[in-house]
Structure 1
Amino acid sequence: MNKELPDVASNEAPQIRAPLEWVGMSRIDIPIHLSEPGCPGPVHAVVDAQVNLPAVTVKGIHMSRIYRMLDEMSSQEAIAPGHLRKLLEQMVDSHHDCYTDGARVVLDFSLLARRAALRSPELAGWKAYPVQLEAKLDQKSFSLRASVQVEYSSTCPCSAALSRQLVADRFRKSFPESAGLMSEDVAVWLEQNATLATPHSQRSEARVSVDVPESAGDFGLMRLIDQVEAVLATPVQTAVKRADEQAFAWLNGQNLMYVEDAARRIQSALTNAYDNLQTQVRHLESLHSHDAVASASGDFQGVI
């Protein structure tokens, strides 16, 4: 004989009567499909999904309903901004008995893209880019924000200047003014002494966040990543040979930058291309045990 199972969330009232801003689930594992060039297959997303609970007399929400909606979304061929709005609307509609009028979903995942070496023909490797999508529906007002993280190399301008000074001082001592200089003599000296002092470089991170229009056909994640890498000019590499490592050293030498320079570069280059652009950069210092950070947001009218 089938018995009706108890439903405490629906049949009991909360002891403390107070509204809740968000209630739901965190760190749900699902596969999702995206239309991003050069990124094959589904990605493993970790999802937070919640609704608001304004009704003070309702004890709990229907979490299993939200889970099933996420599971259905994972079967989509390629999700787009419109799919996230539809998901949030379904989450709200499924909680009409809780007087819910707001929902949010946050997806964290990494895009895996193949990147070519700088010089070696047909040499390439895979690089992962952390991404976050956050969508909200508040009284039928929809917003969607995308954040991407890019790793790059940064060489300190001050350290480079100090290194050059030491090399120049040694050169003057090695070649007094009375000494006759031949270009080959200088070249040999440089090969032996140019690294007498070297500037410090470090792996660095740029996190860039933008608003995504609901009407967009895709999230434009790789497009944003490509733009950030182009602006910084020193993205970390995957597979390399000596020629590629030399090219990377050249790029670093041509793009000396403080953390302030990196933030200004990104914000200045992309400010007219995206709405609500926010940039956060972090240089994982090799000189210090602490990091250097900078951030910028809003309209950026940098003067070049």
Structure 2
Amino acid sequence: MNLPLPDVSLTERAATLSPLQWVGMQGIDLPVILAEPGYQRELHARIDAQVDLPAPYVKGIHMSRLYRLLDEQTGGRELSPGHLQQLLQAMVDSHRDCESRSARLNVRFDLLARRKALISAGLAGWKAYPVHVEATLREGVMQLQLTVTVGYSSTCPCSAALARQLIEQGFERAFAGQTAIAPAVISAWLRQHATLATPHSQRSEAVVRVDVAADAPAFGMFSLIDAVEQALGTPVQTAVKRADEQAFAALNGQNLMFVEDAARRIQAALSERFSHAHIHVRHLESLHPHDAAAWAAPSL
């Protein structure tokens, strides 16, 4: 029982001598404490952690060292850009015997936020925003990117125009030959027939990636999410009553958009506030069995 345990990563050489770009673990379950302005909550995260392996003769890295570092340095500490930089440097330092010089972390979790109803006072519900934080340390310099996924509703402008035409034609047939129509009669017809045709709409999503400064005090997740939702105007709702559902219908009617419109709206809203915004929007079509999608990236 007192014999030393073998460690072939130290005593054996790699059969094929070549450097490796990244080596490590994926999908580590850990709790993280997220502290953004006005928000602090412990969240379940899945973390990928890797270091480079430039030494071709080293058989393998020390996975357990990486795991212990993550466990020790995420427990009870708030996740921040500064914290990630310290953790990345500790990962590199722990693998000096492997000649590692770089490290990277991918942190994924759902940002759980309470959102108010559009109209009903005191009514609110929970919404989850998928978040991905990617941090890479090379030569002591950290690059940090934040990706958020935001759900919204999209109503097709073309479909809306076609629906309006059918309603117009129905109105003309109903009142053909009449030169004077009382407003009450028109109102009654609209209540019964204004949905003679309805435009198609669907749940949609925007995936937005921006750069975050290494010395930023926080990631700015809610600032980014709010900017995207405000640009689109139709964020999906949680708890609703009929008044809220009606208000949501009005928002959709006032914010008709193709997938191209959605991408351009987000791009315009983020251009001056966030660095190097990459945008991917997807409309999960109710007309088609396939999705409509658009991408936008910073101009070269």
Question: So what's the TM-score if we normalise by structure 1?
Answer: 0.96
**Paired residue type of 1:31:** P
Asked if structure 2 preserves the Cα contact closer than 8 Å seen for 1:205 and 1:282, the reply is yes
Size of the alignment, in residue pairs?
300
Deviations 1:228-283 (CA, angstroms, capped at 9, x unpaired):
11111100000000000000000000000000000000001111111111111000
Cα shift readout 1:189-233 (whole Å, capped 9, x = no counterpart): 000000000000000000111001011111111111111111111
**Which secondary structure does the structure 1 equivalent of 2:78 belong to?**
coil
Kept in 2, the 8 Å contact 1:39–1:111? The answer is no
Report the aligned-residue RMSD. 1.2
Distance 2:202 2:38 in 1: 28
CA distance in 2, matches of 1:182, 1:132: 58
Distance 1:278 1:155 in 2: 23
User: CA offsets per residue over residues 18-48 of structure 1, 9 Å max, x none?
Assistant: 1111100010000001112564520000000
Name the counterpart of 1:91: 91
Shift of 1:60: 0.2
CA shift for structure 1 position 74: 1.9
Where structure 1 has 5 or more consecutive residues not aligned to the other structure, the ranges are none
**Residue matched to 1:2:** 2
Structure 1 runs of 4+ with >6 Å offset: none
Query: Which amino acid in the other structure matches residue 57 of structure 2?
Result: T
CA distance in 2, matches of 1:96, 1:82: 22
Letter in 2 for 1:275: S
Distance in 1 (CA, whole Å) between partners of 2:247 and 2:212 is 35
Q: Distance in 2 between matches of 1:141 and 1:294?
A: 32
Alignment-mate amino acid for residue 289 of structure 2: S
> Structure 2 counterpart of 1:111, which letter?
L
C-alpha distance in 2, partners of 1:164/1:73? 59
Q: Does 1:60 align with 2:60?
A: yes
Once the 2 structures are TM-superposed, how far is the Cα of residue 72 of structure 1 from its aligned partner? 1.4
Q: Name the counterpart of 2:208.
A: 208
In structure 2, how many angstroms separate the alpha carbons of the residues matched to 1:152 and 1:36? 23
Residue 138 (str. 1) matches residue 138 (str. 2): yes
Q: What percentage of aligned pairs have identical amino acids?
A: 58
Deviations 1:47-101, CA, capped at 9 Å, x for gaps: 0000110101100001111101111122243121011111111111111111111
Provide the secondary structure at the position in 2 that maps to 1:226.
helix
The alpha carbon displacement at 1:186 in A equals 0.6
Q: 1:14 and 2:14 equivalent?
A: yes
Equivalences for residues 26-37 of structure 1 within 5 A? 26-37=26-37
Residue 248 of structure 1 corresponds to 248
> What does 1:191-202 correspond to in 2, within 5 Å?
191-202=191-202
Structure 2 gaps, min length 5:
none
Q: CA–CA distance in 2 between the matches of 1:40 and 1:197?
A: 46
Normalized against structure 2, the TM-score is what? 0.98
Preserved CA contact (<8 Å) 2:120 2:244: yes
What is the aligned partner in structure 2 of residue 219 from structure 1? 219
